[in-house]
Every structure is written in structure tokens, then in C-alpha cells.
């Protein structure tokens, strides 16, 4: 079932891209047909067409971002979270298995219960968290620092966890 939903997502993305390219082609061809022989008129029409195309692109991107956010939120609302505390007790992590082979990991401050960092990643195996003095390692198969969260998390991690959903 996961493969089917992933295929559907890829097909939908490809379809939207094709619609986008077709819209650009139609807008520019209509603009070209309506242009007069004057270079100034032609330039104004191209500017108008480019502005309209930019607005359409921004609306599509915004719509897709909102749709992705709603899908992720619905997946999260039905998930059951597990919890694991750090070795020194300053932090705790909550994790949940989401549909399509994704795992949501949230890192909290144990004293204030504030969300410090959040990761959404693909992982097919059972989650294994490894706490060290300076980091939380959540994906041992990742290269470099991709599979870990530095302790304490930085400003960008906190901002991303609390305000941004585009991970």
C-alpha cells in the first residue's frame, strides 16, 4: 500500500508540473499572438504574461504547501507517540511511525516541555535513538550530521520545529 501511495504522490507532482508547463506555454503563445509590431507593446505584453505566470506559480506552490501540511497534520493526529528520555534527563524525545514509511521525531526540553527540534524522515526499520553528551542520533544510516540533532539545538532547529512545516 505504501508503494501505491508514493506512486500516486509522484504522479500528482508530475501532473502538476505538466499543467504548469502547459499554462506557461499557453500564456506566452496568447501573449505573442496579441502583440503588435511595436517593440514597446510587445515588451509590455511579455511583462504582463510573466507577472501572471508568476502569480499562478506562487498560488500553486502555496496550495501544494497547504495541502502537504494538512496531510502531515492528519497523519500526526492519528499517530501514537513513544517517548525516550536522555541519559542526563535534560531532554526527552517523542517519536511516531507515520504512513508511507515516515517517522516523526520531536525533541523537547524536559524541564519546560518546550519543543526544541523536529525531524520528519524516511526509515523502514524500528527506530533506535542513541543519546550522546552532545547529540541525539536518530538515523544511523544517514551520512554526516544528517541523522542527528546537536544538543542543545540551535536557533534554526527551534524556529523550524515551532513555525515551519516544510521539512
Distance from C-alpha of 164 to C-alpha of 63, rounded to nearest angstrom: 16
Between 37 and 68, name the one with better pLDDT.
68
Q: Are residues 61 and 99 in the same domain?
A: no
Quick one: pLDDT at residue 145? 62
Distance from C-alpha of 113 to C-alpha of 153, rounded to nearest angstrom: 14
Q: Are residues 111 and 42 in the same domain?
A: no
The residue range of the domain holding 111 is 79-163
**What pLDDT digit, counting tens, does each position of 18-55 carry?**
777 777 777 777 766 665 566 667 777 778 888 888 88
Quick one: pLDDT at residue 166? 44
* pTM: predicted TM-score of the whole model, two decimal places: 0.56
Task: Give the pLDDT band (50/70/90) at residue 3.
Answer: very low
Q: Are residues 53 and 110 in the same domain?
A: no
Domain boundary among 27, 43, 76: 76
Q: Are residues 12 and 88 in the same domain?
A: no
Domain boundary among 28, 59, 76: 76
Domain boundary among 46, 76, 106: 76
**What pLDDT digit, counting tens, does each position of 78-98 carry?**
778 888 888 888 899 988 888
Q: Are residues 141 and 67 in the same domain?
A: no
- Looking at the 3D structure of the chain, how many domains does it have? 2
Q: Are residues 83 and 47 in the same domain?
A: no
Q: Are residues 26 and 72 in the same domain?
A: yes
CB-CB contact of 139 with 147 (8 Å):
yes
Q: Are residues 53 and 88 in the same domain?
A: no
Q: Are residues 54 and 96 in the same domain?
A: no
Amino acid at each position: 500500500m505504501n508503494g501505491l501511495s508514493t506512486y500516486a504522490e509522484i504522479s500528482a507532482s508530475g501532473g502538476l508540473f505538466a499543467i504548469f508547463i502547459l499554462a506557461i506555454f499557453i500564456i506566452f503563445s496568447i501573449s505573442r499572438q496579441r502583440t503588435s509590431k511595436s517593440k514597446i507593446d510587445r515588451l509590455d505584453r511579455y511583462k504582463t504574461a510573466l507577472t501572471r505566470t508568476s502569480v499562478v506559480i506562487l498560488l500553486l506552490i502555496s496550495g501544494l504547501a497547504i495541502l502537504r501540511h494538512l496531510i502531515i497534520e492528519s497523519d500526526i493526529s492519528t499517530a501514537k507517540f513513544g517517548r525516550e528520555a536522555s541519559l542526563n534527563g535534560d531532554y526527552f524525545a517523542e517519536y511516531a511511525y507515520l504512513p508511507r514509511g515516515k517517522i516523526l521525531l520531536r525533541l523537547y526540553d524536559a524541564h519546560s516541555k518546550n519543543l526544541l527540534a523536529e525531524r520528519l524522515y524516511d526509515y523502514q526499520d524500528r527506530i533506535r535513538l542513541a543519546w550522546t553528551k552532545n547529540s541525539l542520533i536518530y538515523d544511523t544510516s544517514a551520512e554526516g550530521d544528517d541523522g542527528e540533532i546537536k544538543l542543545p539545538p540551535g536557533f534554526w532547529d527551534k524556529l523550524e520545529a515551532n513555525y515551519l512545516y516544510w521539512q
